[in-house]
Structure 1
Amino acid sequence: MDDDIEWAQIGEGHVRGKADVVTTCERSSEYLAGVRTTFSRFKIVAAENCVVIDSRAEYVDAEGESSQVASCDIYDFIDGSLAAITTYAVEIDSSAAD
């Protein structure tokens, strides 16, 4: 991972720098440890310097509250090192079609 990596979370903000990206991932991992996740869609497309993950998942927390999220993450690499991430994520109605 590049030291000056940038993670654009569209509609949510930006995370800049390796340390802040790692911290953001650790916080997400801690939160998700208490959440049941079920993917109804998970597609990976890989190219020479880019990986795209398109997914749809249901998240259920410890209180039984659930949400459906459709997301797309784009990972860009330069010289084999992760240089940028772009995330699009939207909460959707559970009855919405794929």
Structure 2
Amino acid sequence: MIPATSATVVRAAVQRRSFSLASSFRAMARAMESHPFERLPVTQKSAAADWAKQVKRVTSQAAICVPGVTLFFGWPLLVRRVANPGASYEIPESMKLGYERD
């Protein structure tokens, strides 16, 4: 091998960009992106907000979430009520406020 040629090969290998997983993942994510970030054309008007659809979506989600969260956090009280129907919570005397004491 000619010395000048081997020096050129070594210099090219050293100057080559190193492989980066982050840049590879970034390029892959950009390739899979359904709508690349760019300016919208001036000739195209933006779509109007569909508030009826948003209200319907939030209402249907709340109809599931509110009872679900209530049941999730309230099951101990429900079990206590079922297991001991006559029991009620009594505040200890030491924790009562002045106007609550007998």
TM bucket (normalised to shorter chain) is under 0.3
- With the length of structure 1 as denominator, give the TM-score of the two structures: 0.23
Determine which structure has the larger strand proportion and give its number: 1
Q: Which structure is richer in relative contact order (CA contacts within 8 A, separation 6 or more)?
A: 1
